[in-house]
Amino acid sequence: MAVPSPLLGRPGAVAGSGMDSGVAAHYGEPLPEQRRLERGLAVADLSHRGVVTVTGPDRLSWLNTLSSQLLLGLAPGASGEALFLSVQGRIEHDCRVVDDGTTTWLIVESFEAAPLAAWLDSMRFMLRVEVADASADWSVVGSCAEVPALAGRTAWRDPWPGVNEGGYSYSAGEHPAAGRVWLEYLVPAAELESSVEGLPLAGTMAVEALRIAAWRPRMGAETDDKTIPHELDLLRTAVHLTKGCYKGQETVARVHNLGHPPRRLVFLDLDGSLHTLPEPGSEVRLGEKAVGRVTSSALHHEAGPVALAVIKRNVDPAATLSVVDGDELYAASQQVIVATDAGQVVGRQQGFMRGPR
């Protein structure tokens, strides 16, 4: 469990739970906090994030051989996203990557840091790299805009929803999060309180609502032990399709070129008349048939109750679904994130699926 943040002592702070335990879910005004965060007028305490550091002259070439992303020549200050996969191509770690010229920083979910650091350390062999779980020494602060008070700090800039060089989009048309800005600043843990002094704060409820509205998958929420990148549209930001060999690369290439992902991520507009939200894990149904599960849900300040869900690939994208949580039944209108014919690009005509222009 994450060490409780000192910012939980702020007036009105209500502690988060689950993956967001240790920081504030909100500070007494969930929806106003969400609006301020979206407008770049507030920052979010994400000090429960895990932080793994990799140093040494071989760090980028070494990480490049292990991950799904092309990291060779990553410039100081440049950001990326990289996955570490199983041999079967399943997602084991999803890392926010930024290099400052001497250290590569991997920002991950709290539960990932220790096992990721241990696994990376076991893979060093004779290379000139050092790996450390630095989660206790560093905190993360999130924002939808540049924060003048944090200028000069190392910051990760989310590439989502862009399509990186070597990446591929499984979404059709204009992405609802086009132009989105999301930054995660690294600050020494001992300086967390002073670094945000005088800045309005937003809780993780606000962060989650904006993430869901942006169709942005999260490790531990949208993933399970069978998830492959294609199901979550992660080929756009986290996979380089021509970089060369890495663990899981064969599955990535085979599904993309010749097959289809078995499941797909979908955005759900939920019936708001119940004034509640379905819990993650709630069953998604087409008629009486279970076709998937809710992975994240939130109350968005404009869209109302929304959710992300992972469902079977061949579910009719025009169908109205329902979500069942105990005795509650929610009507759910779906917006396609990963299309039903995603994958199998070899020999097909050019369509909505594309790489960067």
pLDDT in tens, the chain (357 residues): 568 999 999 999 999 999 999 999 999 999 999 999 999 999 999 999 999 999 999 999 999 999 999 999 899 999 999 999 999 999 999 999 999 999 999 999 999 999 999 999 999 988 999 999 999 999 999 999 999 999 999 999 999 999 999 999 998 788 999 999 999 999 999 999 999 999 999 999 999 999 999 999 999 999 999 999 999 999 999 999 999 899 999 999 999 999 999 999 999 999 999 899 999 999 999 999 999 999 999 999 999 999 999 999 999 999 999 999 999 999 999 999 999 999 999 866 544 445 543
Domains and CATH numbers, the chain: 6-213 (3.30.1360.120), 262-337 (2.40.30.110)
Report which residue type is found at 140.
V
Cα–Cα distances in angstroms (integers) from residue 306 to residues 49, 112, 130, 332, in the given order: 24, 27, 42, 9
**Residue pair 28/204 in contact by the 8 Å Cβ criterion:** no
Question: Residue 6 and residue 11: Cα distance in Å, rounded?
Answer: 12
Burial class (CB in 10 A: 0-12, 13-18, 19+), 357: exposed
pLDDT, position 244: 87
Model pLDDT, residue 2: 66
Kindly give the interhelix angle for 30-38 and 204-213, rounded to the nearest 10 degrees. Answer: 60
DSSP string, 202-233: E-HHHHHHHHHHTT---TTTT--TT--GGGGT
Query: For position 1, what pLDDT does the model report?
Result: 52
The confidence score (pLDDT) of residue 352 equals 44
Q: In the prediction, which pLDDT does 322 show?
A: 98
- 3-class secondary structure, 316: coil
Distances (CA, A) of 291 to 57, 224, 312, 322: 48, 16, 6, 10
Round to whole Å and give the CA distance between 58 and 275. Answer: 53
Query: 10 Å Cβ neighbour count for 12?
Result: 12
Burial of 119 (0-12, 13-18, 19+ CB in 10 A): middle
Distance CA 332, CA 268 (A): 6
The pLDDT value recorded for residue 356 is 47
- Edge-first strand order for the sheet with 103-108 is 79-85, 91-99, 103-108, 50-55, 130-133
pTM across the whole model: 0.95
